Structure 1
Amino acid sequence: MDKASPVLQVDGMCFGYPQRALFTDWCLSVRSGATLLQGGDSSGKTTLLRLLAGAVAAQQGHWVLRGVRVAPQAQAYRHQVFWQDPRSDALHALSARAWWAELAAQHAAWDAAALAAHVQGWGLQPHLDKALHQLSAGSQRKVLMAAALASGAALTLIDEPVAGLDQPSVRYLCQALAASAAQPGRAIVVAHYGTLPGVPWTEVVALPEPAE
């Protein structure tokens, strides 16, 4: 894929809640590399990730990921996406090892060597066979991000990556994001309130602050 061509193209997106419109006739081109969705609380960062993942349907608009439209090709679209909401408790009874084994069967570009590097980089080895609910919030976040970066998914979506992380873990995160973003044809979209040192952002998309 031409590096200048978008991995994901969003056109005419409209979405809102009864009390507030979030996106009106909104467009976005996501190229390979790392894209930062930057905004404060209630700016719609997580909602936008859910929309891009195909986990939430927009009221209007369409988007195409590597030639596949989110509708009516929803299943084929989602097969190219990695998204796991860190606020969900759906995985709490699983261990990291068991969940990762499921993901390896789902993602054709799953990279076991990358996963092993992330386990080492984030010091996850002692926690691999614990249920996720037994882990600290920071360790849970590391388990999710290790999977995201190892997935090889064309569109990888990561929400608030530094929550619960100490400084050494943040440093490793920045290194891992930079390495994953260098993979050809892969778009990594990170929702966060600020930039991260050492991450070569292809684009920074500033979401508007919510109206008072």
Structure 2
Amino acid sequence: MDIVMSSKPASGHAPVLQVRGLHFGFAGQHLFTDWEADFPAGLSLVAGGDGAGKTSLLRLLAGDCAPQAGRMILLGVDATVQGNDYRAQVFWRDPRAPWPEDLTPQAWVDDVAARYARWSDEDWRSHVAGFSLAQHLHKPVYQLSSGSQRKLLLAAALASGAALTLLDEPVAALDKASITYLLQALEREARTLRLPQRAVIVAHYDELGGLPWRHKIQL
């Protein structure tokens, strides 16, 4: 596995997330062996083709599944020792996971907003407008198109303020206007660093038009 670092955290600034000695794989397939990385505040890219392990890595970083060995430390919180405290700082939802039939976007977002101390109602409203989601907020989520479900997930992720925000193939199923809005929103996030202890990690097969990545890893 080829790991390419585009940058390191600036001198005097500790990384938001540290990964040390990560081991993980499935029967007959080793994905990560003694894998290490530091993720600084800002945008980071995990690039690779299908089957490279991008989604598996995001699930590991989210605490959604456990590595066979290794440590993940998010703003001083060790996932192995303080699992609940670690996961409370992470925004992650697998975009392929099914939604409950009785759940509306508004009900889900109300729950998400209550879980994140740095949730921004202003950002949420801005992203709802940018992704043209307002008309869908009171429909059952499972009835929305895959593109609208993705837009809901992205709007909530960006508004969450979570210290570690994980986005898997974010442009999948999006229309052209929504892709344009997403790239603009990610660029604003990267340029302004309004939340200086926030790492946004994006998994995608390419560099998404050259966003201002602080850190890049090729799987």
Structure 2-normalised TM-score?
A: 0.91
1:162 partner letter: V
Distance of 1:27 and 1:198 partners within structure 2:
24
CA 1:93/1:45 → structure 2, altered by over 3 Å: closer, same or farther? farther
Coordinate RMSD, CA, aligned? 1.5
Q: In the alignment, does 2:205 pair up with 1:193?
A: yes
**Aligned pairs (5 A) from 1:111-150:** 111-150=120-159
Q: Is the 8 A contact 2:99 2:142 kept in 1?
A: no
Name the SS of the counterpart of 1:47 in structure 2: helix
> In the TM superposition, what is the alpha-carbon distance from 1:72 to its structure 2 partner?
1.3
Q: Is the 8 A contact 2:44 2:213 kept in 1?
A: yes
**Aligned pairs (5 A) from 1:42-53:** 42-53=51-62
Tell me the matched-pair count: 207
Percent identity over paired residues: 51
Runs of 4+ with >3 A deviation:
1-4, 90-93
Q: Is the 8 A contact 1:155 1:186 kept in 2?
A: yes
> In the TM superposition, what is the alpha-carbon distance from 1:91 to its structure 2 partner?
4.4
**Aligned pairs (5 A) from 1:166-205:** 166-181=175-190, 182-183=193-194, 184-197=196-209, 199-205=211-217
Name the SS of the counterpart of 1:25 in structure 2: strand
Q: In the alignment, does 2:69 pair up with 1:60?
A: yes
Distance of 1:107 and 1:186 partners within structure 2:
13
Structure 1-normalised TM-score?
A: 0.94
Distance of 2:155 and 2:70 partners within structure 1:
32
> In the TM superposition, what is the alpha-carbon distance from 1:196 to its structure 2 partner?
1.4
Residue in 2 aligned with 1:15? Answer: 24
Distance of 1:117 and 1:14 partners within structure 2:
40
- Give unmatched runs, 5+ long, in structure 2: 1-8
- Give unmatched runs, 5+ long, in structure 1: 208-212
